[in-house]
Chains A and B, each alone.
Chain A
């Protein structure tokens, strides 16, 4: 199989980025992803359930994430839920996207500094 270039997914759709960012910390189930995004953004971004799973489906099809067969420690496990994790490609894509955003922030900072100087 030919290697897929992570760059081909850049820029990521917002929903995709949020989901992948949630999975960067480790495996997570759907509800967990939703909660994590909600907490991280202090309630500003909510992934509604149907949209969430629509995105998950497409992320799996794009081979950026996968359903995990490993279960967490029994006391933490919710048997009804399926866990998702980033694939290697997914990690690469997330890294590339973060790189892009950092680059963007850097550019913005430079611009701001320049405008401060000129003022």
Chain B
């Protein structure tokens, strides 16, 4: 009984303060008086009941207190809807934005590949290698648990069973070695994945499909296994379905199909010319799973040595003396394999961006709560004086902050969801699809939410503590004007305000740099009416044409198309003109002239174009000639013919020519890469000066090899009419009919005018510009709201002072100036800090990685931005100050002075 009583007493102590104060002693007394009776009547069970009763009551009392606090807070918020709305919107926007940025970027760059058990141990060689090398790497059992070869962005023309004469759909997949799935550690959802035992060359063609393909194209039919698809006109059986969310390695370009490298070349033209046995056909990405205990560094070193040995053994390669690493390994367990050094930089950048946004929102909330806390000093002092518990008051004030951040958090999740839906609807105009549907990252949402909550608690706790510990007498006597907060005062609130202005300017400038950088990239000027050119893509080998037939088609196609309309010119290219170019597609070229040493090495972006390409674009040659029909018949090295020293003609743009050969004549000079030699036959203008930086471009001729192994976008036919714009769908339709007449089995895709194509390319940059611009503007609005709030507060606080000044004869302008001076000082110091902060951040980021260099080097040199952004911020924030400041001149001195 004694023991039960002790427990009971302990529990009774734990009641909430209020309850304990009112009923604590009585609860103890009653229990004390009746405990003997209970023990007598009910025995031990009764004592247990007694303790259970109080144990259940405890949390209920706490809940009821909390409900009371929340109700009180709710009423307080409803009473000041402006305050509540601003708080909720700013928290909501920032949480929504942060969650969204993290959901998309985080999932892309840092989260493990879904369903891949070996994700942590996966590495990938940065540059493609030949299948022969992959086989050699596979022998290194002490380094790797497995090595697979794969190609990404491989298009397949897919015809479904029972679809009749329906047009095939162009669906992207991967061409993978049979051990691909075991290297990744991916298990099938249904059926089986590919395997070295089951999938051997010469076997019946099979295909593994993703969950997405199964859902979108087969309605998740349970009969999908064993179903037959026509891929590029050839039959293949579906043997397995990969787990949900799995879209292949490198799944920023999601794959829907996986075709083994053991498939016949008729099914996958990528395999033509016996590419698996070509020592020099560097067509495959090597995906490796590190053996236990092997680090990525040691694997890289070992692999580099192996590559050097293999290179040296190859008689067809010229001796190389370069010192640098020939192999770079990237961690491949994420959707975007990134160099290791880049990861922390990108992480830092996104942390900075979202951190700035969250800082802004939190400081805003803090500002508002601090102002509110100070505003209620008198009320609190009265309540303390008449005996309210300090803890109780603090809890009540905190309830408001918590409620505000909870509501903000809920709004944030809603906004994040809306942003995600908008994001997933956006389709960039790339040939190979680009993953945009990544879902919400609940971790990020939770993080942002907790941060908001923490901020709500923290910044309502601080003023609550301050307000409740205050010496009551002055607070009661002086009420609001506890101390005159002169603009010189360096209080917490002002500090927060300066931080806010600085952070929002940093945000505005950093996003502005990006916006200007990205904007410049997309400015393409054509020398002719872009409506007058039609682009269309064909891919005959994937329509089931044999290589010979495909080549014959390309031979006769220009003449046939020209014969339909005399005023028409035709050219081919392996990519649309003015397409967005990545350094990713760049190739290292070395000038071969012996005179210069060391030899000039440059990385130049490679474009493959047919005869008459530059004439089509109204680009005169600066020197030399265009590609001719005969260039189109040259057999390039590594395309199946015995290695003979072929020299491909190459056309350089101005930047490339200047880079290799200075101001001298480039014509007739030789270049080489690690596969073959090139002879410069022409020089053209820089067609696209993206971001104000000139990039070296080398134009290679289309060769039979390109016709047989078409690139992801197919072969682009450019058709320009001199008769004027080919407006409307009629013109496009008549071209479709013409092609159908030439060969009804030929499928056309990406049919569009050049101006449509350019519009769509701009859409992606516009999207980026809008995103970053939106973040910047959001910061600006937040800062304005915060400043307006603080000015309004300071006006209220200084009522008495202003009243006295007015009574003593201060003019309206003088009063206004007085109030604005404080805001101006805050804005000025914030602007200066933010300006240098942004410049410093841009410097640091560009120093860390060349990704930002271009954007920032253009942006930081842009005077409009450097002057405009601070001015804009100052103007908006001063306006935000002015609006509430006007209230100061409306203060009636008689009223204000009588009030106290």
B442 within 8 A of A: no
Binds A, one of B48-56, B287-295, B747-755: B48-56
A31-B33, A80-B29 given as contacts; is B41 within 8 A of A50 (CB)? no
Residue from B26, B34, B49, B54 in contact with A81 in the complex, judged by beta carbons closer than 8 Å: B26
A81 to B53, CA, bound (A): 21
- CB pair A30–B61 under 8 Å, yes or no, is no
B23 within 8 A of A: yes
Interface residues of B in 259-286 (CB under 8 A from A): none
Q: How far is the CB of B328 from chain A (nearest CB, A)?
A: 70
A48-B50, A50-B53 given as contacts; is B30 within 8 A of A34 (CB)? yes
- CB pair B19–A31 under 8 Å, yes or no, is no
* In the complex, chain A residues whose CB is within 8 Å of the CB of B23: 53, 56-57
Interface residues of A in 5-35 (CB under 8 A from B): 29-31, 34
Contact digits for B15-33, partner A, Cβ 8 Å, 1 yes 0 no: 0000100110111011101
A56 to B19, CA, bound (A): 11
A54 within 8 A of B: yes
A118 to B41, CA, bound (A): 45
* In the complex, chain A residues whose CB is within 8 Å of the CB of B56: 50
Q: How far is the CB of B38 from chain A (nearest CB, A)?
A: 8
Q: How far is the CB of B813 from chain A (nearest CB, A)?
A: 49
B57 within 8 A of A: yes
A49 within 8 A of B: yes
- CB pair B29–A50 under 8 Å, yes or no, is no
A71 to B57, CA, bound (A): 30
* In the complex, chain A residues whose CB is within 8 Å of the CB of B49: 48
- CB pair B30–A31 under 8 Å, yes or no, is yes
Q: How far is the CB of B370 from chain A (nearest CB, A)?
A: 33
Chain A residue with the shortest CB-CB distance to B54: A50
* In the complex, chain B residues whose CB is within 8 Å of the CB of A30: 26, 29-30
Contact digits for A32-62, partner B, Cβ 8 Å, 1 yes 0 no: 0010000000010000111111101100000
Chain B residue with the shortest CB-CB distance to A58: B64
Q: How far is the CB of A66 from chain B (nearest CB, A)?
A: 13
* In the complex, chain A residues whose CB is within 8 Å of the CB of B60: 54
- CB pair B30–A49 under 8 Å, yes or no, is yes
A91 within 8 A of B: no
- CB pair A43–B22 under 8 Å, yes or no, is no
- CB pair B29–A81 under 8 Å, yes or no, is yes
- CB pair B34–A53 under 8 Å, yes or no, is no
- CB pair B26–A53 under 8 Å, yes or no, is yes
Could you tell me the dominant secondary structure of chain B's interface residues?
A: helix
A83 to B404, CA, bound (A): 41
Residue from A31, A43, A51 in contact with B29 in the complex, judged by beta carbons closer than 8 Å: A31
The tally of CB-CB contacts under 8 A between chains A and B is 49
* In the complex, chain B residues whose CB is within 8 Å of the CB of A82: 26
- CB pair B19–A57 under 8 Å, yes or no, is yes
- CB pair A49–B27 under 8 Å, yes or no, is yes
A48 to B57, CA, bound (A): 10
Q: How far is the CB of B399 from chain A (nearest CB, A)?
A: 18
- CB pair B30–A54 under 8 Å, yes or no, is no
A43 to B26, CA, bound (A): 22
- CB pair A49–B22 under 8 Å, yes or no, is no
Interface residues of A in 77-119 (CB under 8 A from B): 80-82
- CB pair B34–A34 under 8 Å, yes or no, is yes
Residue from A29, A49, A54, A81 in contact with B31 in the complex, judged by beta carbons closer than 8 Å: A49
- CB pair A51–B57 under 8 Å, yes or no, is yes
- CB pair B57–A50 under 8 Å, yes or no, is yes
- CB pair A52–B30 under 8 Å, yes or no, is yes
Interface residues of B in 291-331 (CB under 8 A from A): none
A6 to B33, CA, bound (A): 34
* In the complex, chain B residues whose CB is within 8 Å of the CB of A80: 25, 29
- CB pair B61–A54 under 8 Å, yes or no, is yes
* In the complex, chain A residues whose CB is within 8 Å of the CB of B33: 31
A31-B33, A31-B34, A57-B19 given as contacts; is B27 within 8 A of A48 (CB)? no
A82 to B27, CA, bound (A): 11
Q: How far is the CB of A57 from chain B (nearest CB, A)?
A: 6
* In the complex, chain B residues whose CB is within 8 Å of the CB of A81: 26, 29
Q: How far is the CB of A31 from chain B (nearest CB, A)?
A: 5
Chain B residue with the shortest CB-CB distance to A43: B41
Residue from A29, A34, A54 in contact with B57 in the complex, judged by beta carbons closer than 8 Å: A54
Residue from B19, B27, B30 with most neighbouring chain A CB atoms (10 Å): B30
Chain A residue with the shortest CB-CB distance to B11: A50
* In the complex, chain A residues whose CB is within 8 Å of the CB of B27: 49-50, 53
A30 to B34, CA, bound (A): 11
Q: How far is the CB of A7 from chain B (nearest CB, A)?
A: 24
A30-B30, A31-B34 given as contacts; is B41 within 8 A of A49 (CB)? no
Interface residues of B in 32-50 (CB under 8 A from A): 33-34, 41, 49-50
* In the complex, chain A residues whose CB is within 8 Å of the CB of B29: 30-31, 80-81
- CB pair B50–A57 under 8 Å, yes or no, is no
* In the complex, chain B residues whose CB is within 8 Å of the CB of A56: 23
Chain B residue with the shortest CB-CB distance to A52: B30
Q: How far is the CB of B242 from chain A (nearest CB, A)?
A: 57
A51 to B22, CA, bound (A): 14
* In the complex, chain A residues whose CB is within 8 Å of the CB of B34: 31, 34, 49
A55 to B861, CA, bound (A): 72
Chain B residue with the shortest CB-CB distance to A35: B34
A43 to B57, CA, bound (A): 22
A40 to B22, CA, bound (A): 27
Residue from A29, A50, A56 with most neighbouring chain B CB atoms (10 Å): A50
Chain A residue with the shortest CB-CB distance to B24: A53
Interface residues of B in 439-494 (CB under 8 A from A): none
Q: How far is the CB of B13 from chain A (nearest CB, A)?
A: 13
Residue from A29, A31, A57 in contact with B22 in the complex, judged by beta carbons closer than 8 Å: A57
* In the complex, chain B residues whose CB is within 8 Å of the CB of A57: 19, 22-23
Chain A residue with the shortest CB-CB distance to B55: A50
Residue from A51, A54, A56, A82 with most neighbouring chain B CB atoms (10 Å): A54
* In the complex, chain A residues whose CB is within 8 Å of the CB of B30: 30-31, 34, 49, 52-53
Chain A residue with the shortest CB-CB distance to B46: A46
* In the complex, chain A residues whose CB is within 8 Å of the CB of B53: 48-51
Q: How far is the CB of B499 from chain A (nearest CB, A)?
A: 44
Residue from B19, B54, B58, B61 in contact with A49 in the complex, judged by beta carbons closer than 8 Å: B54
Chain A residue with the shortest CB-CB distance to B41: A43
* In the complex, chain B residues whose CB is within 8 Å of the CB of A50: 12, 27, 53-54, 56-58
Interface residues of B in 647-704 (CB under 8 A from A): none
* In the complex, chain B residues whose CB is within 8 Å of the CB of A31: 29-30, 33-34
A119 to B25, CA, bound (A): 58
A51 to B34, CA, bound (A): 14
Residue from B23, B34, B41 with most neighbouring chain A CB atoms (10 Å): B23
* In the complex, chain B residues whose CB is within 8 Å of the CB of A43: 41
A81 to B23, CA, bound (A): 10
Residue from B19, B53, B60 with most neighbouring chain A CB atoms (10 Å): B53
* In the complex, chain B residues whose CB is within 8 Å of the CB of A29: 26
Q: How far is the CB of B316 from chain A (nearest CB, A)?
A: 91
Q: How far is the CB of B685 from chain A (nearest CB, A)?
A: 84
A54 to B58, CA, bound (A): 10
Q: How far is the CB of A109 from chain B (nearest CB, A)?
A: 34
Q: How far is the CB of B19 from chain A (nearest CB, A)?
A: 7
A30 to B33, CA, bound (A): 11
- A sample of 29 inter-chain contacts (CB < 8 A) reads A30-B30, A31-B29, A31-B30, A31-B33, A31-B34, A43-B41, A48-B49, A48-B50, A48-B54, A49-B27, A49-B30, A49-B31, A49-B34, A49-B53, A50-B12, A50-B53, A50-B54, A50-B57, A51-B57, A53-B27, A53-B30, A54-B57, A54-B60, A56-B23, A57-B19, A57-B22, A80-B29, A81-B29, A82-B26
Q: Point out residues on A near B: beta carbons under 8 Å.
A: 29-31, 34, 43, 48-54, 56-57, 80-82
Given A48-B54, A49-B54, A50-B27, list of 13 further CB < 8 A pairs?
A29-B26, A30-B29, A31-B34, A43-B41, A48-B49, A48-B50, A50-B12, A50-B57, A53-B19, A54-B60, A57-B23, A80-B29, A81-B26
8 shortest interchain CB distances as A-B pairs: A48-B53, A50-B57, A50-B54, A53-B23, A49-B30, A49-B31, A31-B30, A50-B53
